[in-house]
Structure 1
Amino acid sequence: MTMPPTVDASWRSIVVGHIADALLSDDEGRHAHACRLAQHLDEAGLNVDLAVDDHIHSLGGPLSPRDAWSRPSARRERFRQEAAAHVPF
């Protein structure tokens, strides 16, 4: 059974928003669940990665879509290293 286009767009928008919010979170568990959900959707032929990236980009926050897919602890470490590299002596 095929869903009407408006239902399909609605569920997709809801899922994309939730995945994007979780990817932007500093909570490791929430981030990991979002990554797994995106992976399971991809395996089911329902890839939402580009839509999630677009949603994150549209928010205009400090994280790029690429950064958002990285684990929060990895992001913090990378940002710490970048900040340390730019500290004048």
Structure 2
Amino acid sequence: MKTIILFLTLLVISSSCTSIITKTMNSKETTYLDSPAVSPSIDQYLVDIHLGHSFLQGVMSFCYDCGKACFRRGKNLARCKKFVCRCTKSGIK
């Protein structure tokens, strides 16, 4: 009886430790899509932004992503039409 209780106790402790370890490892590997690019100077001068899209995504979702991409570059959204995203040349004022 004592061995069963000891075994179950060790099993619970080891499973809780592994869950804590995997939780911390997964949180370190998380990357965020809204974070700015590593080298923003490369695409800073681009006016047209080519985002990957699909027809299942829809125009509204594409234009939302277009506006977010312009904002990350410090530009205003000029036009989003027929899956073409255009930002203003001047920065946000």
- The structure carrying a bigger strand percent of its residues is 2
TM-score range for the pair, normalised by the shorter chain length? under 0.3
When you count helix as a share of all residues, which structure comes out higher?
1
- The two structures have a TM-score, normalised by structure 2, of 0.26
Structure scoring higher RCO (CA < 8 A, sep ≥ 6) equals: 1
If the length of structure 1 is used for normalisation, what is the TM-score?
A: 0.27
- Which structure has the greater CA radius of gyration? 2
